[in-house]
Amino acid sequence: MEKIRRTDIAFLLNDAEGTFVGQIVNVRGWVRTKRGNKFVGFVALNDGSCLATIQIVFDFAKMDESILDRVHSGASISVNGELVESQGSGQRFEIKAVEMELLGEANPDEYPIQPKKHSLEFLRENAHLRFRTSTFSAVFRIRHHMIFAIHKFFNDKGFYNVHTPIVTGSDAEGAGEMFQVTTLDLHKIPYNEEGNIDFSKDFFGKATNLTVSGQLEAELAALALSKVYTFGPTFRAENSNTTRHLAEFWMIEPEVAFADIEDNMDLAEDMLKYVIRYALEYCMDELVFLSQRLQDEEKSKPQNERSPMELIEKLRFVADNEFVRTTYTEAIDILKNSKANQKKQFQFPIEEWGADLQSEHERYLVEKHFQKPVILTNYPKDIKAFYMKLNDDGNTVRAMDILFPGIGEIVGGSQREERYDALVGRMREMHIPEAEMSWYLDTRKFGTVPHAGYGLGFERLMLFVTGMGNIRDVIPFPRTPKNAEF
């Protein structure tokens, strides 16, 4: 077969002027469907460069039949042919094949992905092949654009990206259960004289874990570079089995010196709106497809379970409207006086100030009461982390949680406690070992400044932007309890 430089299918299909019509081009990709008769055949070919397939037309008389017989869904082929305006009505351009090479067969008796609707559960078990489907290739193209948009947002604002450690020796971060990292032989664990595991024999000479947050290290960087953000993997060994939790996920953690809680809220709201607008600008084909898919799925649901807003409409609504900002105390009042509470519709009734909000309460506030994203601030200190700045009332801290419809908490952040004595006081109250945290306390000892930051769960953002219902479907290879396949 004549060697011609490969062209992305996206490049050919997006060429509005049709400048390539009449040229011989080469495309390579994976067959979605093949149809036709004894005389003329059609292959829908996808190479992942865009959602759409390009139609390959071939004249049976001119092609090698032994090759065509082995071209099934999933097979990879290389085609040389002339780009022409399509005679059919389903597409503008197509390729009239001159030569075709079968790069890789896909035995149809064994290849699991077919040109039909598969359940997301089935595809999750075939995560190695689900990239080949329209839905997942759309999700993962959007994922790329969201990653890029986040870096662009922060870069354009003068933030520096910081790589915080993945292996950490600090067990004081307090964000959740940690995965232990060790090179000790688990069959021959060394013990010291007190009968405890002798970590001095371990690789790092101490007990180490996978990070549950880059925040504390990001604070160190912020107190020199002023504006920083991390974007890295995060590991939580919680036995969480929900549509919103992963054991390995990606988190964005900006940290800003000379910033207070108001600046923090502004930054988070700006960032979320920016990346949502970015998706609307650069991923419209994918969003239209996912929206259609959702609407088809909802047809089988009862009326009251259907979403009030279609995906693209919902994204525009969030990008164009102010988030509601209110305090924990006001939220408790709203919930306490709500019909749902008075009619005892909450599984956990709201009785007094100080209780943590359950997800049914968050959903009520976001989905029923305000019907838009909500930023809640000034939580009771007892339900929040040690590093959050204590308010003058002595009871609340300058925390902020951003709650999104259908997702719940998408951002959690705070203004940090920058006063040395106040921070040490909180650490003692909460039994955080000071000695191990001396490096963190040094930032408060030497040239401390007010600062603030937050953590954004990247996959939760992906859930919102794509409208997917399960967090395992917006990360290529999900890690959850009892599942580390692939």
In the range 12-41, which residues lie near RNA by CB under 7 A? 33-40
List the one residue from 2, 17, 65, 69 that touches RNA (CB under 7 A): 69
Vertex 483: Cα angle to 478 and 486 (nearest 5): 65
Residue pair 450/260 in contact by the 8 Å Cβ criterion? yes
Q: Is 352 in the site for RNA (CB under 7 A)?
A: no
Which residues neighbour 461 within 8 Å (Cβ) at sequence distance 6 or greater?
Answer: 146, 272, 275, 410
List the one residue from 216, 221, 456, 462 that touches RNA (CB under 7 A): 456
b/e map 337-359, b = 16+ CB within 10 Å:
ebebbeeeebeeebeeeeeebee
Q: Whole-number minimum distance, CB 201 to RNA, in Å?
A: 30
Residues between 436 and 455 with contacts to RNA, criterion CB under 7 A: 455
Q: Is 68 in the site for RNA (CB under 7 A)?
A: no
Residue pair 257/227 in contact by the 8 Å Cβ criterion? yes
List the one residue from 141, 381, 389, 460 that touches RNA (CB under 7 A): 460
90 vs 447 by CB, closer to RNA: 90
Q: Is 486 in the site for RNA (CB under 7 A)?
A: no
Helix, strand or coil, per DSSP, at residue 257:
strand
Q: Is 57 in the site for RNA (CB under 7 A)?
A: yes
Q: Whole-number minimum distance, CB 161 to RNA, in Å?
A: 18
Q: Is 269 in the site for RNA (CB under 7 A)?
A: no
List the one residue from 23, 180, 192, 239 that touches RNA (CB under 7 A): 239
39 vs 446 by CB, closer to RNA: 39
Query: Residue 215: beta bridge partners?
Result: none
202 vs 249 by CB, closer to RNA: 249
Task: Report helix angle 311-320 to 261-282, nearest 10.
Answer: 140
How distant is the alpha carbon of residue 265 from its chain centre? 20
Q: Which stretch binds RNA (CB under 7 A): 158-166, 189-197, 235-243, 284-292?
A: 235-243
List the one residue from 51, 100, 216, 251 that touches RNA (CB under 7 A): 251
175 vs 309 by CB, closer to RNA: 175
Compute CA distances 376 → 160, 260, 273, 306, 330, whole Å. 27, 15, 18, 27, 9
Residue pair 9/49 in contact by the 8 Å Cβ criterion? yes
145 vs 245 by CB, closer to RNA: 245
240 vs 391 by CB, closer to RNA: 240
25 vs 202 by CB, closer to RNA: 25
Q: How far apart are CA 431 and CA 214, in angstroms?
A: 21
The half-sphere exposure of 389 on its side-chain side, counting CA atoms within 13 A, is: 22
Residues between 362 and 421 with contacts to RNA, criterion CB under 7 A: 363, 408-412
List the one residue from 226, 240, 327, 395 that touches RNA (CB under 7 A): 240
91 vs 161 by CB, closer to RNA: 91
Give the count of beta carbons closer than 10 Å to the beta carbon of residue 250: 19
Residues between 104 and 163 with contacts to RNA, criterion CB under 7 A: 108-109, 112, 114-119, 121-122, 124-125
* Residue with the two structure tokens 């900002």: 325
